[in-house]
Structure formats: C-alpha cells, structure tokens
C-alpha cells in the first residue's frame, strides 16, 4: 500500500521543492475530480507498502513550511488527463503542466461545510507520531475556529509509508468509512500515546465505535478498499510529498505538525486571496 524491487528511499523523498510545485498546481483537482477514475498506483506505491518509511526532516514538528505559488492554477495550467489539457497557442510562452490524475475524493473522508472558502487536504499515516500530534493538539483548535464556523473544509488522503501497520490501519479506516464512521475511527486510532495497529486492535476499535464487525472484516478483505488506499498513496508519491503529515491549504503546501499559528496564517491568507 511488488512488481519490482522496493522503491529507493529517494523516490519518497523526491524533493520538497519539486513536489511543492506540482502539488500547488494539482491542489484544486485533488479536491474536485470526484468523477475522475482512480489514479493508477505506481510501482513506487506498490513497493512502498512494505518498505518505505517517513523519517524525513520536512515532516517534523520543527520543519519550516514549504510553500509554492498560491491558490488555484491559472487558466494556462491544467490538471488531469490529456483530454483536459488545452493546446497552447503558437504565441504562448506559458508551459502547460500535466500532472498525475488525482483519485476521486470520498465524501466520507471530508468534514466541514461544502461552501467553505478554504479547503485543507491532509495526507496522513496512522502510524505517524506527528500526524497523531496534529490530530490531538492542532486539529481540535482548527475545528473550533474554522470548521465549525464554515470557513474550512477538511479532506483526508491516505499516505501510509511506515510499513505494514500503516497500510493495515489505512485499509481498516477505509472499511470504517463504508459504514460512515471514518472520522470516529480516525480519532480512536490517534487517541493515546502510541498507536496499536494489529488486526486485533483494529477490530477492537471497530467494535468500540459500534461498527458491524462482519461487514468491517469483509470490507477490509475487499479489493476495492485496497485500491483506494493504493490510489491515494500512488498520487502522493507522484506529487513528491516528502513525508507525513503534509497539507494543501487552497493549493499551498504546509509540511509537518506546524504550530497552530502557522495554520492560522495559511488559512487567513487563503481566505482573503493573499
């Protein structure tokens, strides 16, 4: 979440600068292409399911936020497949950027008003300590100030790059989403000091939040759930995201569990079109 040997680590660490440039161009498509077919899982996505890690400086609490050109793509820059890419006029000197196709967005993995002027996409891993720190200390503040007031809508995308436990947890959370309980499952996995992500632990969490365990187990075994996790993982790797957590805030990139003030600054900038 191997057709070839494990992906070299540099593929995950593709470079925050190059990755940030691509991410900014694709941010709007990552939210709006709900009707597009799921993005293909790259060989890197398949191999990193068991081998890649997320021990990168850019994803630590003290990492400086890396930003790119703000906001939505300009009309001369498009995302998606070739059918969506306009041909530049002979006099145009603007390069058309054609990036990876984002997988569809699952509405069960979003929260906040659909009319919110600011969107935040989190690429996360349930085994990631900085993702847990964000979920416990930062997200509740953002929810109170921005989600509950209709300013922000949040989306989750899976980026399970810490081995088998990460993939197992991502698949289980997607199975919970089939019963409309993704966020309850998400919060339960991030509760406490250290994640417990064995099969028995995941079933225990599912029972605790009231899931139908027979359906939960069936969905976890289903190929469709595995495919959506692989799709998000492949997409994140193609974007060159250097680690978790990584955030898109109206097209600008913020890496790591930054202080609340860093998120507030990015949200206000996006909100006012800065």
For the segment 53-85, what is each residue's pLDDT rounded down to a tens digit? 333 333 333 333 333 333 333 333 233 333 333
3-state secondary structure of 34: coil
**Token pair listed for 169:** 């947890």
DSSP string, 36-59: SPPPPPPHHHHHHHHH-----GGG
In contact, 33 and 104? CB cutoff 8 Å: yes
User: Residue holding tokens 């900014």?
Assistant: 24
Give per-residue pLDDT as tens, 116-174. Answer: 999 999 999 999 999 999 999 999 999 999 999 999 999 999 999 999 999 999 999 99
- The DSSP bridge pattern shows strands 152-158 and 252-255 to be unpaired
Give per-residue pLDDT as tens, 244-263. Answer: 999 999 989 999 989 999 99
Distance, CA of 246 to CA of 249 (rounded, Å): 10
Residue 108 DSSP symbol: G
């Amino acid at each position: 979440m191997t057709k070839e040997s494990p992906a070299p680590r540099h593929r995950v660490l593709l470079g925050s600068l190059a990755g940030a440039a691509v991410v900014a161009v694709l941010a709007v498509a990552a939210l709006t292409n709900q009707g597009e077919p799921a993005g293909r899982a790259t060989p890197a996505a398949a191999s990193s399911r068991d081998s890649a890690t997320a021990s990168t400086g850019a994803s630590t609490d003290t990492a400086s936020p890396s930003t790119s050109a703000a906001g939505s793509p300009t009309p001369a820059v498009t995302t998606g497949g070739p059918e969506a890419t306009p041909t530049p006029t002979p006099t145009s000197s603007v390069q058309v950027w054609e990036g990876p196709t984002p997988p569809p967005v699952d509405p069960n993995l979003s929260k906040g008003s659909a009319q919110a002027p600011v969107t935040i996409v989190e690429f996360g891993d349930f085994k990631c300590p900085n993702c847990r720190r964000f979920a416990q200390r930062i997200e509740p503040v953002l929810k109170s100030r921005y989600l509950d007031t209709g300013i922000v809508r949040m989306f989750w995308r899976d980026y399970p790059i810490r081995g088998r436990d990460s993939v197992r947890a991502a698949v289980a959370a997607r199975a919970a989403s089939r019963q409309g309980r993704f966020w309850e499952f998400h919060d339960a996995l991030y509760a406490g000091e250290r994640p417990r992500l064995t099969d028995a632990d995941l079933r225990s969490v599912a029972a605790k939040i009231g899931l139908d365990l027979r359906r939960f187990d069936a969905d976890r075994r289903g190929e469709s759930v595995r495919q959506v996790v692989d799709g998000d993982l492949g997409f994140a790797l193609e974007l060159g995201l250097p680690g978790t957590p990584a955030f898109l805030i109206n097209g600008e990139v913020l890496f790591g569990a930054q202080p609340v003030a860093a998120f507030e600054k990015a949200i206000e900038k996006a909100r006012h079109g800065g």
